[in-house]
Amino acid sequence: MAGLLSPEEWQVVVLSLKVSGVAILIDLPLAFALAWLLARGRFPGKVLLDAIVHLPLVLPPVVTGWMLLLAFGSNGPVGRFLLDTFGLGLIFRWTGAALAAAIMALPLMVRAIRLSLEEVDRRLESAARTLGAGPWRTFASVTLPLALPGVMAALVLGFARSIGEFGATITFASNIPGETRTLPLAIYTALQIPGSEGDVARLAIISVLLSLAALVISETLTRRSGQRKAGHAL
Amino acid sequence: MPFDVDIALQRGSAHIAARFRVGPGLTALFGTSGAGKTSVLNAVAGLIRPQSGRIAVGGDILYDGAARLHLAPEKRACGYVFQDSRLFPHKNVRDNLLFGWKLAPAARRWMALEEASEFLGIAHLLKRMPRTLSGGEMQRVAIGRALLSGPRFLLMDEPLSSLDEERRGGVMQVIERIRDELALPILYVSHDRREVDRLADHVVTLGPDGARVTPGIRTSDGPAARRAALRPVPSTPHSP
């Protein structure tokens, strides 16, 4: 297996997995909080928040990348703060690629978690309350376990989306070998070089396999949760 | 007075006024559908907040509009048996039964798992998941879960309505035994006259012009039998 890919290609795969893994870890708490607000909250401006959360899904990724540059670049307010306070640089760094992937995956994750939260039967939460569980325990022992398949699906979907992220990453974090050159960027780079069709094909096949695996896992999780819910109807 | 309720509720466009004080035993909340029976039950459980009034059970004040007191449901020690059982689908029968038991302070646990599962005839179901149970089994587990949470009173919302005729008899016997052997005050919502006649010590009829309290007739046994504690399950013409 190791012989199938060159060291540079392995580096690309490992970097892609690292960037995507960090991206969904950043996203998880944020996506859960947003999904909760959108599923359960009642507040003015909810429609607007919903729209803002979904923006990265419909904006041209290059626009998202440019906005990230404005906010998180060395001269952007957030970027300046992160660099001065934590020494955390984002531009031209894999951390920047992870941030771009996180922003692009966020809407998908919020959607998946929100759906699973909306499917949780609130009447079961009422039952837990009458049995002596306070709001937090009700959340931990009833709401969260019932929404868990959706949360897992969100992680897988977000991961797959991050693996494929291209436009915002190349705009914001650039295309630096070993640092921000993830799978799609490596494929794009190889395409620019005449005679490297074999490299393109190998990287493309890896992309397809990773995405396929993610979709199968996510679909299985969703279906399992559906079965469980159908099983308890009444 | 086990149940001392005087509340005004608004549900959608319907205004519900309920005022009743009843003695020990099983009190049926009777009335046509839409009269607000379940809403009154939910208010006693603390799941909804009345507009005004007062709710006391066994001398403990659970809600007092004037004093802005509204105890959270988990602080009311009520055992609520819902119409649709509401078993937790991700927990097996045993964990469902123990859900409230584990949360109750030790002093309030007046029943053990073995006792409850024997009482309800569900000992053989402990490892099963709720989705594999029949309606009657589900409802008995739901009753067990409520009893094991160490309640000071029980709320039952048409616990027989999702059951076929055959299963009803068994669950009804269980309810009679809870009423008589465990001597737990029960507030029981029903729209079925026969059920009310058989089970109720007191009948609160909810109507558009408020609540009316009448004594129950208890067709299954006389007042003497009712007073006798710890008697075996009565075999009555109604029992299957």
Domain boundaries in chain A?
Answer: 8-228
Task: Sort out which chain B residues have CB atoms less than 8 A from A145's CB and list them.
Answer: 90
Q: How confident is the model at residue B213 (pLDDT cuts 50, 70, 90)?
A: confident
Q: How confident is the model at residue B229 (pLDDT cuts 50, 70, 90)?
A: very low
Q: Cβ of A131 and B45 within 8 Å?
A: no
> Looking at chain A, which residue has its C-alpha nearest residue B78?
A130
So what's the pLDDT on residue A144? 95
In chain A the first and final C-alpha atoms are separated, in Å, by: 51
Question: Which region among A88-102, A190-204, B166-180 has the lowest average model confidence (pLDDT)?
Answer: B166-180
How many CB pairs lie under 8 A apart between chains A and B? Answer: 76
ipTM: 0.86
Q: How confident is the model at residue B210 (pLDDT cuts 50, 70, 90)?
A: confident
**pLDDT tens, B114-168?**
989 988 889 999 999 999 999 889 999 999 999 999 999 999 999 988 788 877 8
Q: How close, in Å, is residue B87 to chain A by CA atoms? A: 7
Q: How confident is the model at residue B220 (pLDDT cuts 50, 70, 90)?
A: low
pLDDT (mean) for B187-199 = 91
CB < 8 Å from A in window 143-172 of B: 145-146, 149, 155, 162
Substitution target from A129, A130, A141 for chain B, most B beta carbons within 10 A? A130
Question: Which region among A29-43, A80-94, A104-118, B191-205 has the lowest average model confidence (pLDDT)?
Answer: A80-94
Substitution target from B38, B70, B74, B111 for chain A, most A beta carbons within 10 A? B74
Residue B30 phi, psi dihedral angles, 5° rounding: -115, 150
CATH architecture assigned to A8-228: Orthogonal Bundle (1.10)
Question: Which region among A214-223, B30-39, B55-64, B119-128 has the lowest average model confidence (pLDDT)?
Answer: A214-223
Residues with Cβ < 8 Å from B200, sequence gap 6 or more?
A: B25, B26, B27, B28, B30, B188, B216, B217, B218
**pLDDT tens, A22-52?**
999 999 999 999 999 999 999 999 999 999 9
Q: How confident is the model at residue B230 (pLDDT cuts 50, 70, 90)?
A: very low
Contact B46, B62 (CB under 8 A): yes
Structure tokens at B54: 């007062």
pLDDT (mean) for B36-64 = 94
Q: How confident is the model at residue A225 (pLDDT cuts 50, 70, 90)?
A: low
Bigger pLDDT: B79 vs A230: B79
User: Within 13 Å and on the Cβ side, how many CA atoms surround A211?
Assistant: 13
Q: Average pLDDT, whole number, for chain A?
A: 90
Bridging pattern class, strands B202-207 and B210-215: antiparallel
Q: How close, in Å, is residue B48 to chain A by CA atoms? A: 10
> Looking at chain B, which residue has its C-alpha nearest residue A124?
B86
Q: How close, in Å, is residue B77 to chain A by CA atoms? A: 7
B238 part of contact set with chain A, CB < 8 Å = no
So what's the pLDDT on residue B209? 75
pTM over 0.90, yes/no: no
So where are chain B's domains? 1-71+190-222
DSSP state of B233: P
**pLDDT tens, B92-114?**
999 999 999 999 999 888 889 99
Residues with Cβ < 8 Å from A118, sequence gap 6 or more?
A: A39
So what's the pLDDT on residue B13? 84
CATH architecture assigned to B1-71+190-222: 3-Layer(aba) Sandwich (3.40)
So what's the pLDDT on residue B237? 44
Of B70, B80, B12, B66, residue with least CA distance to B46: B70
So what's the pLDDT on residue B153? 95
pLDDT at A105 over 70: yes
Q: Cβ of A131 and B90 within 8 Å?
A: no
So what's the pLDDT on residue B1? 73
Question: Which region among A86-90, A101-105, B43-47, B183-187 has the lowest average model confidence (pLDDT)?
Answer: A86-90
